[in-house]
Structure 1
Amino acid sequence: MKYFEEAKNIWINYVPKSGQSDTVEGELIRAIEKLRYEAQNNGNGNWDEGFELFCQYLWDNLNDNRVFGHDVLNEIRTYIDMVNNSEVPYFEDDLYDRITDRIIEWSLAHKGPIKREKDPKQYR
């Protein structure tokens, strides 16, 4: 992971012990880490709409052509699609780390933190 310290800083400062983050950056990091944990520790056995909402949230925010070029957006889409395959959990860290690096690049470009409204449908 290229931006480990930056991701750690967001985790410490913007991801609460439980529930959703008040910032976009915090929620993006929370989402990818929840998805990583579900795959690696549960084999996606608890997969439900909450995890699909995480994948959609990642794409909705990272699909930003002001920050990323076409090739990088295709890469991000591919990675999120792989994570969103509940039938075939992705166990290796590399994919989650690549998405995390893109989260940090997005965050740096937007010079956050950016406040967000909590999603009443997201219960995870």
Structure 2
Amino acid sequence: MEYFNVCKEIWNRWVPQRGYAQVLQGELLRQIERLRYEAQHNENRSWNDDLLYYCDFLRSTLREADCLTPEERDRVNAALVRLRSCGEVAFRYYKGDISDQELAEDYNGELAYQNNDLYDLVCDAIALFYRANPNPIPYERRRDGRR
């Protein structure tokens, strides 16, 4: 991660110990770290609509960010599409809709993306977003979200 210290600053300033952040910059970082935790520590066993929403919200917010180059936007978008896809496969697998054989043959056995590179890529994009928008942007949580 190129912008670790910037992400640490965002985390310390705007990510609460519990619940959602009231500042967009903090909420973006909280969401990607929730996705990372679910994949790396839980193998996406608890994948749900909130995590799906995080992938889509991060994608749409960072896709519109003027601070990212078109190439950076494409890489972030591809990373979040991959993370979302893994979560959807895990959800279907743990629900019993995908067999072990289908998982192995059609999805290379991947239920959760566990390497740090894609999460770090998104974190770096959030750091660039923060640098371009250093003043807090209010974030209002979606009404039906649990996390």
1:29: how far off? 0.5
Specify the code of the residue in structure 1 equivalent to 2:144: K
Aligned to 1:95: 118
Which deviations, in whole Å up to 9, do the C-alpha atoms of 1:68-105 show, x marking residues without a partner? 22222111110001111212310011111111000010
Specify the code of the residue in structure 2 equivalent to 1:110: N
Residue correspondence of structure 1 range 14-29 to structure 2 within 5 A: 14-29=14-29
Specify the code of the residue in structure 2 equivalent to 1:67: C
- SS for the counterpart of 1:84 is helix
Unmatched 5+ stretches in structure 2: 90-110
| Aligned-partner Cα distance in 1 for 2:83–2:54 | 10
Specify the code of the residue in structure 2 equivalent to 1:38: E
| Aligned-partner Cα distance in 1 for 2:144–2:83 | 20
Quote the RMSD (CA, aligned, Å): 1.2
**What is the TM-score when the length of structure 1 is the normalising length?**
0.94
1:24: how far off? 0.5
Aligned to 2:131: 108
**What is the TM-score when the length of structure 2 is the normalising length?**
0.80
Aligned to 1:120: 143
Q: Which has the larger radius of gyration?
A: 2
Aligned to 2:7: 7
1:65: how far off? 5.2
1:2: how far off? 0.9
1:28: how far off? 0.4
Aligned to 2:44: 44
Paired positions, count: 124
| Aligned-partner Cα distance in 1 for 2:136–2:64 | 17
- SS for the counterpart of 2:67 is coil
